[in-house]
Amino acid sequence: MARYVVGRGLSIALVLVLISIIVFAATHVLPGSAATLILGEYATPESLRALEQELGLDRPLAVQYLAWVGGVVTGDWGYSLAMKQPVTAIVGLRLRNSAALAALTLVAVILVAIPLGTVAAVRRGRWLDLAILTGSYLGISVPEFVSGMLLILVLAGPSLHWFPTGDYAPLAAGLRAWLSHLVLPVLALTLVLVAHVVRQTRSGLIEVLRSPYVRTARLKGATERRIVLRHALRNGLLPAVTVIALDLGYLMGGIVVVEEVFAYPGMGRLILYAIQNRDVPLLQVSILIVAATYTVANFGADMLYAWLDPRIRYR
């Protein structure tokens, strides 16, 4: 087991190094440099040259990359080219915001989707199953900018105004203020994500409910409730765990639209900004964080498998 964990750790590190090289190379394939974007339509050939020199963009690519790596190794994550601030200061806030949004959304998704998926599986083919499936499909088929905007108009508009339209509040401003800003984006994201998890829970559970060991349990006279909750659910959840792990990565860096609609400063918008401004140091760190989330979440999911299904052993 220990060997497995170390091996996975090394492979995660390798993936991150490869990603940093790919991101770096890809950014330089894009037309224009940070200097082009910083100076915008005020650029002159002289100011472009001067700025590229100041930002170190006139050096060979390999030198730029190695300089960045050298910084990271010594704990210097670099300066954002466009915002002229330490990357760590800029990323810190967005990371906290994204983590809060992702955590609350995942909790909401799990609390809603797993019970719904379980009920649907137990009642498969009946009207309740149909209602749950249709409902969750509705959630996934309405794009999040539509559901997000509708939530804003109805729940944050001047008539009800139960929640703020957007923005965020730091935890220091009080739990209530912090939470109130998160409710609508969490709702919008939950609507989108619930369908995946409901489907996976339902199909996973249906399969398990057909398996010989469940039949054995039934023959032994166990109640249906005990069969589902004690025997079947643990195994039936395996596919759902994979989906939830992938959702975590998505929530940490892939929800640009929701972050824009709710004016919520998270990692998704930051990555978009970094790409649009060719802000390589900012982009590198942001992408690495998201990539690390994906890989570590997947690793976590694999560990969870072993716990849910003791037959799985990692070597």
Partner 1 sequence: MTGSRRDFLRTSAALAALAWPLTTVGAPARAWAQGDKQGGLLRISATFGLSTLNPLAHISGAEWMATRWLYSNLTRLTPKRDVVPDLAESWTAGDGGRVWTFKLRRGVQFHVGREVVADDVVATMQTILDPKTASPYRGEIGPIDRVEAVDKSTVRFTLRGPFADFPAIMTVPVARIVAREGLGDLKALAAKEFGSGPFRLREFVPGDHVTVERFAHYYRSGRPFLDAVTLKVFPEPATELTAFRARETDMIWDVSPDLYPQITATAGANALAVPGGTFANVIMPTDKPPFSDNRVREALKYTVDRTAMLAAINGGQGELANDHPVSTAYAFHARLPIRTPDLGKARSLLREAGHGSGLSFKLFAASSPPIREKMAVILKEMARPAGFDIDVEVLAYDRYLAQVWNKGVPYIGFYATRPTADAILMKLYHPKEGLDEGRWAPSHPEAIHLLEQARETLDVERRRRSYATFQKVSRDDGPFVLPFFRNELSGSWGYVRDFTLNASNFEVDLEDVWLTADAPRKKG
Interface residue with partner 1, options 23, 57, 82, 297 (CB under 8 A): 82
Tokens for 21? 């090289």
Q: Write each residue from 227 to 266 as x if it is in contact with partner 1 (CB under 8 A), else as -, in one continuous string.
A: ------------------------------x--xxxx-x-
If binding is defined by CB under 8 A, does position 7 make contact with partner 1? no
Does 50 sit near partner 1 (CB under 8 A)?
yes
**Helix, strand, or coil (residue 86):** strand
Distance between CA atoms of residues 266 and 254, nearest Å: 10
Three-class SS state of 263: coil
| The one-letter amino acid at 174 | G
Mapped to the 3 state alphabet, what secondary structure does 267-311 carry? Answer: HHHHHHHHHHCCCHHHHHHHHHHHHHHHHHHHHHHHHHHHHHCCC
Site mask for partner 1 (CB under 8 A), range 138-167, x = bound: -----x-xx--xx-xx--xxxx-x--xxxx
Residue 90 is a binding residue for partner 1 (CB under 8 A): yes
Q: Is 37 in the site for partner 1 (CB under 8 A)?
A: yes
Q: How many CA atoms lie within 13 A of 219 on its CB side?
A: 6
| 84 in contact with partner 1 (CB under 8 A) | yes
Q: Which is nearer to partner 1, 177 or 303 (CB)?
A: 177
The CA distances from residue 222 to 123, 219, 250, in Å, are 18, 7, 40
Establish if 213 lies at the interface with partner 1 (CB under 8 A). Answer: no
With CB under 8 A as the rule, give the number of residues binding partner 1.
56
Contact between 156 and 162 (Cβ < 8 Å): yes
Nearer to partner 1 by Cβ, of 165 and 211: the residue is 165
What residues make contact with partner 1 under the rule CB under 8 A? 30-32, 35-44, 46-48, 50-51, 54, 79-80, 82-85, 90, 93, 143, 145-146, 149-150, 152-153, 156-159, 161, 164-167, 257, 260-263, 265, 269-270, 273, 275-278
